[in-house]
Structure 1
C-alpha cells in the first residue's frame, strides 16, 4: 500500500516570512490496488503564535486568543506522518507548502505536492469556481466549519477522491504563465472571460495553465485575440505546485 496526506493550515496571515501557523490538519490515506484513496488516520493541532490574533483571522477561523494560548502542535507526529507520504495534497498547495518549508521540522523532507485547486481540471468538468466550499456545495455537501484545518482537510479529501488519479498525474505537469502580449484593447472582455488577469506592473494580460492545456490556450489566442495579425503571446515556465 502507498500512503498520502491531505494537509491544511490556518495562519495569522498570508505572508510565510512574517506570519505564523496557528492550526494544522492532516488526513493520512492509503492507496491500494484499487487506486482509490481510503482514510487511515487524522490529526489536528493548535499552535500558540505568541501574538494576538487579528479580528479578521478570528472572524475567518472562529479561533480566539484563549483557544490557542499555550497550545503546541505535535510536530514530531506531523513529521512521522509526512515521512511515509508519497504525496501531500492541499487545496492551493503553494500557500500551505510555503509555510511548511519554513518549519525546522520540515528540513530534509523531499515531498511531492499535489494541488486539488489546480491539478484537477474543474472547468472542463463544468465547475465555474475552484473555491473549496463552493466545490463542496456542487458535490452535494456542506463544510460545517470552513477555515478550520481538519474540516478543510476532510472537504478536500471528499472533493478530490473521485479525481485522484487525474490529480496525481497532472501534479507532475509543468506550469506555464501565458502572456497575451500586445493584445488588442478590444479583446479585453474575451481575455477576462477566459480567466486572464491583468498585470498592472507589466501592463499585460496573463493566465497560468498546466502544460496539457497549452494547445487549447494557444488556439484561443490565435483565433480570438490575435485575429488577422501576428500571434505575439509569450510563455514562461513557473515552479510546479
Structure 2
C-alpha cells in the first residue's frame, strides 16, 4: 500500500524569501491494489501567526484576519511526519507551495520528497478543460469550493479533482521538464505564442514555455507550422 499527501498553503504574499505561511492544510490518502483510487485517511489544518499585519488584499482573498492568527502555530512536527511517511506530495501549483515549505527549518532534510503538481501533471486541455485554475476546474467538474483560498478546503478540492486522473498525475510527475525558447520569433506570431501559453522574457527578449518531455514533439510541430514555416526549426528551438 502506498500513501500520499495533498498540501495547500495560504501566505502573506508570493515571495518565499520575504513572505510567510499563514495557513496549512493537508490530506493524507492511501492507494493499493484493493483500493485503486485514492482514499482519504487523515486531514489536518492550522493557521499560524506571521507576526505582522496582513495586507487588505490577503484578508480579502483568504477571509483570514490578524485576530484569527494571533498566537496560532502550525504543528510542524506533525507536518514533517506526514511528509516522511508519504511516497508522493501533491499540490495545485506545487512550485509555489514547495518553495515556501523548503524554507522552513522544521522541514530541513526533506528536499528529496517526490512532488507532483495537479495543475501541470494532468493534461487538462486534453481532457477538454480550457483552464487549469483550481476553482474553475471544480466548477467544470460539477461542484463548487465554497471556501476558496482556505487551505484545507483547497486540499479537498484538489483531492476530488485529481482522483480520477491519479495514474496520469503520477506518471507525468516523473517526466523531465524542458524550457522551450522561441528565439527570434516573428513579431506577427506573438498572439499565437501567447495563446499557446508562451511567456515573454523582457530581459532576454524571447518567448519561452516550460513543457514536459511528452510534449516536445507537439511543440516542435507547432513552432514549425505556426511560427517558423520558412525557417530551419533546429536553429530556432532551444531545449534546456
Taking structure 2 as the reference length, the TM-score comes to 0.96
After TM superposition, the structure 1 = structure 2 runs for residues 34-183 of structure 1, keeping only pairs within 5 Å, are: 34-109=35-110, 110-183=112-185
Task: Check whether the contact 2:182–2:238 (CA below 8 A) recurs between aligned residues.
Answer: no
Structure 1 residues 41-98: Cα deviation after superposition (integer angstroms, max 9, x where no partner): 0000110001101111100000000000000111111111111000000000001001
Report the number of matched residues: 237
Partner in structure 2 of residue 233 of structure 1:
236
- Residue 203 of structure 1 and its aligned partner are, at CA, apart by 1.1
Gapped regions of structure 2 (runs ≥ 5): none
- Residue 196 of structure 1 and its aligned partner are, at CA, apart by 1.5
Structure 1 residues 88-117: Cα deviation after superposition (integer angstroms, max 9, x where no partner): 000000010011101112112231000001
Q: C-alpha separation between the residues in 1 aligned to 2:177 and 2:211?
A: 6
Task: Check whether the contact 1:9–1:23 (CA below 8 A) recurs between aligned residues.
Answer: yes
- Residue 181 of structure 1 and its aligned partner are, at CA, apart by 0.6
RMSD between aligned residues: 1.0
Task: Check whether the contact 1:176–1:235 (CA below 8 A) recurs between aligned residues.
Answer: no
Gapped regions of structure 1 (runs ≥ 5): none
Q: C-alpha separation between the residues in 2 aligned to 1:115 and 1:236?
A: 22
Aligned-partner SS, 1:125: coil
- Residue 234 of structure 1 and its aligned partner are, at CA, apart by 3.0
Q: C-alpha separation between the residues in 1 aligned to 2:239 and 2:103?
A: 27
Partner in structure 1 of residue 6 of structure 2:
6
Taking structure 1 as the reference length, the TM-score comes to 0.96
Partner in structure 2 of residue 18 of structure 1:
18
Q: C-alpha separation between the residues in 2 aligned to 1:13 and 1:195?
A: 24
Task: Check whether the contact 1:35–1:165 (CA below 8 A) recurs between aligned residues.
Answer: no
- Residue 6 of structure 1 and its aligned partner are, at CA, apart by 0.2
